[in-house]
Amino acid sequence: MDSDESPSPPPQLTGVVIITLPPPNNPSLGKTITAYTLTDNSPQSQQTRHRQQQEHPLPPQLHPPQNSQFNFSLPMLFPGLPRKLFLFLAISIFALILYGSVFSYTLQDRYKSNNDDENKESFVFPLYHKFGIREVSQRDAEFKLGRFVDLDGESVVASVNDGIIRPHKSKINKKLVSSNAVAVDSSSIFPLRGNIYPDGLYFTYMIVGNPPRPYYLDMDTGSDLTWIQCDAPCSSCAKGANPLYKPRMGNILPYKDSLCMEIQRNHKPGYCETCQQCDYEIEYADHSSSMGVLARDELHLTIENGSLTKPNVVFGCAYDQQGLLLNTLVKTDGILGLSRAKVSLPSQLASQGIIKNVVGHCLTTNAGGGGYMFLGHDLVPSWGMAWVPMLDSPFMELYHTEILKINYGSSPLNLGARNSQVGWALFDTGSSYTYFTKQAYSELIASLKEVSSDGLVLDASDPTLPVCWRAKFPIRSIVDVKQFFKTLTLHFGSKWQIVSTKFHISPEGYLVISKKGNICLGILDGSEVHNGSTIILGDISLRGQLVVYDNVNKRIGWAKSHCMNPGRFKSLPFLEG
């Protein structure tokens, strides 16, 4: 090149292209391409173009440009602005992008990153949904909150012949309930199946006994005792998903066992002093019941690091079910009790030093339902959770806390709390729907009258739930009518607390689509099924949230989540089956 030839101008920055690759463990999500063009200040030339591949959209993430030649400074492009201002703007933009990529969905299931720890102490269970069973409505929706009842001094006497319990009912004053009753420090992961409508419950599986056999159990944070339908023989059992559990002589729990005394602690002194076994009866809030004897057998659990443990646990050998349980047991074999009681499964595992007493579940909002649950503390997020204290009561071993107020949009709803401005709220996976106090429910219904002016018409002919609307257009999903409804906000805390902890329930968390194609309200009047003094958050409002019950620190926490897979797990067992 001649020296007198004018040098070519340096390359000018004309744009930046950011290519976001899919995660290595899920390439099907596709990539995102974002292009930014920088020119002069004329309105005609300043433009930003954003193009995404539509086959598999992925939330944009921030990645540095690969080409090192594109080194430039915003102050050089805009010399009139102070350097400190540019620095502040750059940090702010980076923080917003980072926040959006990390918090778009609860920590996108981001958990403690102690992956190298081989002594995991959590168990994760899949949640299953039931296919091919009858539709659930308010009339037969799950609403358990089980409690042990006194057998009025009369025992269900059983003898053991050839290793099988043979019950002989000497005198049982049981009130049969019609199926038409109103109802409205290792970790283990368990997949869940289930949905709100039409099935009305979520269940997982347990492997019990020797030889080990699988049983599908309805996940219930409002029940103390885990029980399985058993052949003792069974006097009133549903078909169930698997053959009945058959106990042996050595499996029957003696009456003097400490866990037997625990479930019978409220019985009269001297109750059944001569019994050689531990009889029980549970009555649920929907008036269904289960009767049986306590048994002890091996529970096969796979720890998060892949190893197998087989603790002996106590559960109910249930040979007499009545009421709505006979409907819900069409595709399940019993109930998984997850309350705070000593006889619950997490409490038993914690007492044996296998886990810390922590329970978590995550119910997906997908149409197919499902999710997962876990036992143990390893999968509890180390940050990003909202926590409230559990109420501590010796007579109520459920997961309940204090609630200050409820808002529908910006409108407050009256809690109807007696002698106090603070009410109670209960987290219960044994309830399909959510229940408000009578006052809060009445005011919510009054607030929802405005949707009639938006093109939705009340349809009293739909038997699915008490309040259903018919639209002038076909409804394919809740998203089609979401704009007509507002978010419910529950404010938790105490009256001395300056700032409340909020639990948001979007329209997807309280609406369902019925078989008729109507939109129905999945919040019911609690005074019609219980005393109505407590707000009960059922499955419908717990979806899309990772919910944790930390019995060690006596607190309840939640965070928004997709609920597809727990952190560090690419897939869950039996999710495909």
pLDDT of 105 above 70: no
The answer to whether the 188-363 and 380-560 domains have the same CATH topology is yes
Mean pLDDT (the chain) is 76
User: Mean pLDDT throughout 453-468?
Assistant: 92
Instruction: Indicate if 525 belongs to the active site.
Output: no
Q: Which pair of tokens denotes residue 522?
A: 């999945």
> What is the pLDDT, as a whole number, of residue 299?
97
- Look up the CATH architecture of domain 380-560: Beta Barrel (2.40)
pLDDT over 60 at 286, yes or no: yes
Q: Which pair of structure tokens corresponds to residue 274?
A: 């001569």
Comparing 307 with 92, the larger pLDDT belongs to 307
pLDDT digits (tens, 9 = 90+) for 130-177: 333 334 455 556 655 655 665 543 433 333 333 434 443 333 323 222
Highest mean pLDDT among 27-36, 178-187, 364-373, 552-561: 552-561
Q: Where are the domains of the chain?
A: 188-363, 380-560
pTM of the model: 0.73
- Opening angle at CA 89, ends 85 and 93, nearest 5: 175
Question: 312 with 345: CB under 8 angstroms?
Answer: no
Which candidate in 109, 199, 218, 220 is catalytic?
Answer: 220
Fold for the domain defined by 188-363: Cathepsin D, subunit A; domain 1 (2.40.70)
Is there a contact between 372 and 201 (Cβ–Cβ < 8 Å)? no
**257 part of the active site:** no
Query: 122: which strand partners?
Result: 187, 376
pLDDT-derived band at 543, boundaries 50, 70, 90:
very high
**Quick one: which of 369, 510, 523 has its CA closest to 436?**
523
Q: Which residues of 210-245 are buried (b: 16+ CB within 10 A; e: fewer)?
A: eeebebbbbbbbbbbbbbbbbebebebbbebbbebb
- Identify whether the C-beta of residue 426 lies closer than 8 Å to the C-beta of residue 535: yes
DSSP state of 230: B
| Distance separating alpha carbons of residues 43 and 97, to the nearest angstrom | 26
Out of 279, 333, 428, 550, the active site residue is 428
Tokens representing residue 90 in the block: 């750059």
By DSSP bridging, strand 164-169 and strand 156-161 are: antiparallel
Other C-beta atoms lying within 10 Å of the C-beta of residue 408: 20
Query: How many Å from the N-terminal Cα to the C-terminal Cα in the chain?
Result: 72
Band (pLDDT 50/70/90 cuts) for residue 212 is very high
